Amino acid sequence: MPTYRAPITDYRFLLTELFDTSRLSAYAGYEEVTPDLLASVAEEAGKLCEDLLFPLNMSGDAEGCTWENGVVRTPKGFKEAYKAYAGGGWIGLAGDPAYGGQGLPALLRYVVDEMVCGSNLSLAMYPGLTQGAFETIHLHGSEELKTKYMPKLASGEWTATMCLTEAHAGTDLGMIRTRAEPMDDGSASVSGTKIFITAGEHDLTDNIIHLVLAKLPDAPAGSRGISMFLVPKFLVNPDGSLGTRNGVTCGSIEHKMGIKGSATCVINFDNAKGWLVGEAHKGLRAMFTMMNGARLGVGLQGLGLADASYHSAVAYARDRVQGRSLSGVKNPDGPADQIIHHADIRRGLLFMRAFTEGARALSVFCGLHIDDEFRAPDAPTREAAADLVALLTPVIKAFFTDLAFESTNIGLQTLGGHGYIREYGMEQFVRDARIGQIYEGTNHIQALDLVGRKLPEGGGRLLKRYAALVAEELAASGQVPQLSAFATTVGGAAKQLQDATMLIMQRGMANGDEAGGAASEYLRLFGYVALGHMWLRTCRVALEKKASGGSLDASFYDTKLATARFYFERMMPMTHSLFASISAGSGAILDFPKEQF
């Protein structure tokens, strides 16, 4: 059986020692927020995930969702767990208190999301998009829509979806065919079919609010003609009670590789009543509010699954006895040694650990900047934070989910044949992790976004801001004798990233396919540098806290330093091969005759 252990101690380190979260108390609305409060909330979330959500993970996967005559039923126990989760105020954790939220930092939402997704990703999908819809309506909706819908979303009494994809139009949203006809009462009649709609229909709540991309009759061609509409499953009466059923039905659910307890639906809109969110023909901008948050959330899904797989693999490796260690007997009283003594098993486990802990630090770093972006009183701080979040979003989504899939495969491999058997739970982590590389914009799209949009923006302004932060850490860590070798490693990789950027920009101006052919490798190179930046900071702070008496045991800091050593010596050298591949150019890709594929 798999095990789940919420990373509570690691989050206490991140929230109270590695990063200066005390600065959040200077922001309006966060006056009562302290590092200890953040850590305490994270601890309570961890307990909830261990005790309530994780016990339903395997059974939910085995049972899955069912669909009959338009009605979707979730696995046994999901409804009760969802009500407990919503009743605890977790869905509206970071929401505006004026509309029913608790008003805690956005950072905390991402902390909780990792643990919720790691303990039960299928169940996490239902409230996950609701949080994004809350923020989208908050930023773009009319006051009437905010008042009518946001409190119900914050409480979890209703859930929400994001309806983009159509059978013929996945990434290319400009091709959508869903139509919205304006009505005399200010609403619109929405008709069309959307596919791959997460939580599009279920039995957890009485109403579901769909945010739907559609085109008005006078819409310009392509993506510039997309508008967003709020379309409820049930219409809402003036007193807030539910009225008649809207023209929204579930045509079927998908039978998927993973996240089987999450209903992925075909949703039909047949003259459904909806209301414009934001400006006409500006729906894509509004949708990206939700999508960018979802992309960060998907990265955290991968992180959570990798962490869950790691702890399950470690528990197995400590108990399973097979063969003798190549360096001598380690378990003289038994017929064989525990497999955790085998070097290659340890290598795999350390890969998983170094990835998850470095990625967790980067997610907190990004979460802090999200709060800076929306709460800092001065424009320069908000603008700098927005640049960093925009730059890191495709990296976190793609790099985290790529390495999460690798990690869950390592976890399965650690158990050998038992890992391939359902009852041990490891193969579920692999299946659940695989979708992260696909939805909310495939990882290829994330790489193209990074290279084609984020790097050129403002003449390279976004990357320059981030490079300055890396240089600042290099300077600080370079003064610590124990870290000089690690700082040299990060500095060299950062230089490779800079050189790769120049190569891609120069070649891309002559032939866009040159940039496209290098984009995925460039994003991965960026990811290794970003985690190296976090590990370097982690080492410096761990040494400082160990010397001055931090709040955690000395063994915690020693383990951080040992894990960082593995990252710098065994993982970060991968930047060399990535840089070599990028430097070779895309000729081998582009010159291959298409007829020979």
Contacts of 395 (CB under 8 A, 6+ apart): 446, 450, 523, 526, 527, 530
Q: Is 29 helix (H, G, I), strand (E, B) or coil?
A: coil
Amino acid (1-letter code) at residue 63 = E
Tokens representing residue 426 in the block: 């490891």
Cα gap 481→165, rounded to integer Å: 53
φ/ψ of 230, rounded to 5, equals: -90, 120
Helices (H), 269-342: 283-319
For the beta carbon of residue 69, count every other beta carbon within 10 angstroms: 6
Q: Is 11 exposed, middle or buried (0-12, 13-18, 19+ CB in 10 A)?
A: buried
For the beta carbon of residue 279, count every other beta carbon within 10 angstroms: 12
Q: Are 211 and 290 in contact (CB under 8 A)?
A: yes
Q: Are 154 and 204 in contact (CB under 8 A)?
A: no
Tokens representing residue 75 in the block: 């696995």
Q: Are 45 and 115 in contact (CB under 8 A)?
A: yes
Q: Is 143 exposed, middle or buried (0-12, 13-18, 19+ CB in 10 A)?
A: exposed
Tokens representing residue 231 in the block: 């379309």
Q: Which is the catalytic residue, given 114, 201, 373, 440?
A: 440
Tokens representing residue 21 in the block: 């979260």
Q: Are 403 and 302 in contact (CB under 8 A)?
A: yes
Active site residue 514: no
Cα gap 309→300, rounded to integer Å: 14
Which DSSP category does 187 fall into? -
Helices (H), 415-511: 426-434, 443-449, 461-478, 484-510
Q: Are 300 and 113 in contact (CB under 8 A)?
A: yes
Cα gap 169→166, rounded to integer Å: 5
Q: Are 259 and 432 in contact (CB under 8 A)?
A: yes
For the beta carbon of residue 531, count every other beta carbon within 10 angstroms: 25
What's the Cα-to-Cα distance from 402 to each of 95, 312, 399, 434, rounded to whole Å?
30, 20, 5, 9
* Closest to 107 (Cα-Cα) out of 303, 374, 410, 498: 374
Tokens representing residue 255 in the block: 């039978």
Amino acid (1-letter code) at residue 7 = P
The H helix count followed by the E strand count for the chain is 18, 11
* Closest to 3 (Cα-Cα) out of 296, 289, 240, 318: 318
Catalytic residues: 440
